[in-house]
Structure 1
Amino acid sequence: MAGRHVLLVDDNETDVILAQAALELSGLGAVVSVARDGADALAFLRREGPHASRGTGDPHVVLLDLNMPRMSGLEVLGELRRDARLRHLPVVMLTTSQADGDVYSSYASGANAYVVKPVSFDGTVEAMRTLTAFWVALNNTVGDQG
């Protein structure tokens, strides 16, 4: 699993800590980078500003919160899908919203999956284990051929 990478985009500190712990407990050994809002996520992916010197390679999956300051998850998703260099990235919306409109808008904008954040720690661990197992361990992405 060496070299597998997840970008977690979430502005809620508690959700970030919970997701990081759950990803660590998943046992799949993925490296987790965190962006605290949509603008920071785009800067990270485009290697701009404070992320200009980050190493090569893109994350194997982006776990993207829907409601964030500065730039919403849907705005980030739209930017990613318009960017020829980044449009291939799998994006999983990871949010508390169960609203049909948010689900529809996410898929219409190019999300690969829509997952409602579990409310319990055990549920979060299981969700992260499942997401990581599929999107990082099983799913073949651009650049995996090697």
Structure 2
Amino acid sequence: MSSQRSILLVEDNPDDVDLTRRAFQRAGFTQPLDVVEDGVEALDYLFARGAHAHRASVPLPSLVLLDLKLPRLNGHEVLRQIRADVRTRFLPVVILTSSDEEKDLVESYSHGCNSYVRKPVSYTEFVEAARQLGLYWLALNRAPESGVHG
């Protein structure tokens, strides 16, 4: 598609990571898919801290796919910190979760997620969801490069 910036997948389930990777490949998206397994690592990746300090000169990903149920720091707190920082305030964040609970949906939007997608159960539905997510967020949507504008 238009940008070769990476996609950040924040997911601790290796089966879901593999499924997401295969779904994006099958849907024809060529962007690198970077994976972190917990909320603390997600923030380190985005803010170029700790083991991810080398990312200081690397552009932010074009999209974050964020699970809610994560070790160390849950997805709601990760989202809250992403939106609280001027560098990542406008970064597109899609909640990709198995949770169908109304409280998770409401909390995600209240913290500024751009979209909330429940993970489809079947592989075919997951591939189609990945294709639609990629098409919209990677090809059609326009987002500021960073939160420092105007």
Q: Same fold (TM over 0.5)?
A: yes
Tell me the TM-score normalized by structure 1: 0.94
Aligned to 2:80: 78
Misfit runs of 4+, over 6 Å: none
- 2:92 paired with 1:90: yes
> 2:54 and 2:131 mapped to 1: Cα distance?
30
> 1:124 and 1:32 mapped to 2: Cα distance?
16
> 2:5 and 2:23 mapped to 1: Cα distance?
16
Contact 1:30 1:136 in 2 (8 A): no
Aligned-pair RMSD on alpha carbons? 1.3
SS at match of 1:52: helix
Q: Which amino acid in structure 2 is aligned with residue 29 of structure 1?
A: T
Aligned to 1:46: 47
1:1-146, aligned counterparts within 5 Å? Answer: 1=1, 2-54=3-55, 55-143=57-145
Contact 1:28 1:137 in 2 (8 A): no
Contact 2:38 2:73 in 1 (8 A): yes
Worse-matched range after superposition: 26-35 or 61-70: 26-35
Tell me the TM-score normalized by structure 2: 0.91
Contact 2:5 2:60 in 1 (8 A): no
Contact 1:61 1:91 in 2 (8 A): yes
For structure 2, list consecutive stretches of 5 or more residues without a partner in the other structure. none
Spell out, residue by residue over 1:18-40, the C-alpha distance to the aligned partner (whole angstroms, 9 max, x if none).
Answer: 00110111112121110111111
Q: Cα distance, 1:143 vs. partner? A: 2.9
Q: Cα distance, 1:3 vs. partner? A: 1.3
Q: Which amino acid in structure 2 is aligned with residue 134 of structure 1?
A: Y
Q: For this pair of structures, how many residues does the alignment match?
A: 144
Contact 2:5 2:59 in 1 (8 A): no
For structure 1, list consecutive stretches of 5 or more residues without a partner in the other structure. none
> 2:5 and 2:134 mapped to 1: Cα distance?
10
